[in-house]
Amino acid sequence: MADTTSAASFAQPQLDSPLPPTVESEIPTTRPLGLWADTWRRLKRNRMALVGLGIIVVFLIVGMSQVIAHLAGVQLTPYDPNAVNYALTPEGIGSPPSLSHPFGTDYLGRDVLSRTLVAARISVLVGVIAVAISLIIGLSLGPVAGYYGGATDAVIMRIADVFFAFPYILFVLLIMTVLGPGFTNVFIAIGILSWATYARLVRGSVLSVKTMEFIEAARAQGASDLRIIFRHLLPNTMAPVYVAIAMGVGGAIVTEAALSFLGIGIQPPDASWGSMISAYLTYLPAGSWWMLLFPSLALVLTVFGFISFGNGLRDATDPKLKE
């Protein structure tokens, strides 16, 4: 992902218009499939998307177990990730992969495998928390803007425009400079900057869904605005949002890695893939490729998983690609 592709722009389906709600065929020859069954049926045929899904599942299992282990105060890695051992770094450049240390050891003799595993905790947390923050803001403001229209819509969407106007990574950097480096600030910076994507997506879908008869029926039954928005409109406008979530989690993980790489994200002794890459890169000219390779590989694979699955999900929910 280049400097230009932000988590926000990244999350936006570039070519498709928002989905109308599924319309079941008028004369069903067989039992019509629901949205999810139909999506799964189409997703199943996309091998890349399945590979992506597999990577996501592995990543979530590893990351979540590290989160739980961290909370419970137990160590779920072959070695203590922070244990310095100078015997394992004879020339100060670590030791190459071996049977006892499959990913090698780093310049302080710490086990690279253990550190790579522990770092998955940060990535999972960033992916989940940052995206959750932006979803909460985006999914509250977006439907409200679309449903009420007029001045409410104009105000909310102009604010969203301002958030879109900043080049993403630079804006995150500006916020991080002011908030200072650290764990929580990374979540906050990424979270509050990405809401506009979700708000815009949902607003677009709400505009097309709100004129439909079932909304009118709900209103005729005396449902309140809030109930109509969150009970009837929102669930019917979520398909493009799921795609954006998959892309957004990948984007948040890369952004955290980039911030930590630049030294203003996660701080030591916490290990994140980005901060590992940043700390190990000076040892590359000395030939210690293993220190850089494994955290990079973990990062690249994880992001690939989310992009690949997100793209597959987009194709699978796109009515234009239905045969």
- The residue ranges that bind another protein (CB under 8 A) are 1-5, 9, 14-15, 48, 158-159, 161-162, 165-167, 169-171, 173-178, 180, 250, 254, 257-258, 261-264, 277, 281, 284-285, 289, 292, 296, 299-300, 303-304, 306-308, 311, 320
Write down the least CB distance from residue 259 to another protein, Å.
Answer: 10
Write down the least CB distance from residue 183 to another protein, Å.
Answer: 17
Write down the least CB distance from residue 314 to another protein, Å.
Answer: 9
Write down the least CB distance from residue 10 to another protein, Å.
Answer: 9
CB nearer to another protein: give 60 or 262: 262
Q: Which of 187, 186, 207 is nearest to 263 (CA)?
A: 186
CB nearer to another protein: give 60 or 207: 207
Contact 204, 145 (CB under 8 A): no
CB nearer to another protein: give 79 or 107: 107
CB nearer to another protein: give 81 or 274: 274
CB nearer to another protein: give 234 or 248: 248
CA distance 204 to 153: 11
Per the structure block, which two tokens stand in for 99? 């049977």
Contact 175, 189 (CB under 8 A): yes
Contact 205, 215 (CB under 8 A): no
CA distance 291 to 287: 10
CB nearer to another protein: give 187 or 261: 261
Write down the least CB distance from residue 320 to another protein, Å.
Answer: 6
Burial (0-12, 13-18, 19+ Cβ within 10 Å), 34 = exposed
Q: Which of 33, 77, 9 is nearest to 317 (CA)?
A: 33
Per the structure block, which two tokens stand in for 25? 């065929």
CA distance 271 to 259: 13
Write down the least CB distance from residue 311 to another protein, Å.
Answer: 7
